[in-house]
Amino acid sequence: MMILGLVRWMQPVHGYDVRRELLSWSADKWANVQPGSIYHALRKLTEEGLLRTVATEQVGGRPARTTYEITEKGQEEFESLLRGLWWQLNEPADPFAAAFSFLPALPRDEAAAALRNRANLLRAGMAWMRTSLESDWLRDTKPVHVGWMFELWTGRAEAEAAWCDRIAERIDSGVSYLPAGLERAEGWSGWEQRLPRHPSQSE
């Protein structure tokens, strides 16, 4: 619920403003806030007493827009929420990790190829971020910590790309997936069942 934080520094705002700001940050990507959830969140926060409605003006025959601002209680809640996120470590759920745990379900050559492809995608993303870091637009209109966030993302991506290449190498080398103790022991028989190579995945 970082909607609260946005209202805090844009107040007084109405829902549509928040939505535009979020989309301009493309925050639907890296935060988990889709435009549809904004209004629900605003109403929810209001009835919890963290926000308060300031006015409800009607401009033309358009839908009436209600303007919100933060309450004292909302301030406190925001502080504690923000501090929680800064001081505690809560790693996000990574869908690729879930997929990777099914590694034995893919043919070895496809897995290696996909990992190398992933490394390329990551490096492409890094290159894109580096060029925007040098663009005037970002330097002149965005606070510097936006660039710092890009640095974090490129750093992580670099580490991950290196890992992809390393793992792809290992898979190509033909090492067994089985635990070290039991090279061909019992219990893992039907496990390495794999899918047929998919023909159209050449890219």
Residues that bind DNA (CB under 7 A): 14-17, 20, 32-37, 39-41, 44, 59-66
Structure tokens, 128: 């894109």
Nearest residue to 154 (alpha-carbon basis) of 134, 177, 110, 124? 124
For residue 61, the partner it binds in a copy of itself, DNA, none, with Cβ less than 5 to 8 A by kind, is DNA
Checking 96-104 for CB contacts under 8 A at 24+ apart, the result is: 103/177, 104/177, 104/191, 104/192, 104/194
198: contact with a copy of itself by CB under 8 A? yes
79: contact with a copy of itself by CB under 8 A? yes
Residues in region 134-163 near a copy of itself by CB under 8 A: 139-146, 148-149, 151-153, 155-156, 158-160, 162-163
**In the complex, least distance from residue 10 CB atom to a copy of itself, rounded to whole angstroms:** 10
191: contact with a copy of itself by CB under 8 A? yes
54: contact with a copy of itself by CB under 8 A? no
Other beta carbons less than 10 A from residue 107's beta carbon: 14
For residue 89, the partner it binds in DNA, a copy of itself, none, with Cβ less than 5 to 8 A by kind, is a copy of itself
Residue in the structure block whose two tokens are 């033309």: 60
- Is the CB of 60 or the CB of 181 nearer to DNA? 60
Q: Answer positive or negative: Cα dihedral of 53, 25, 161, 198.
A: positive
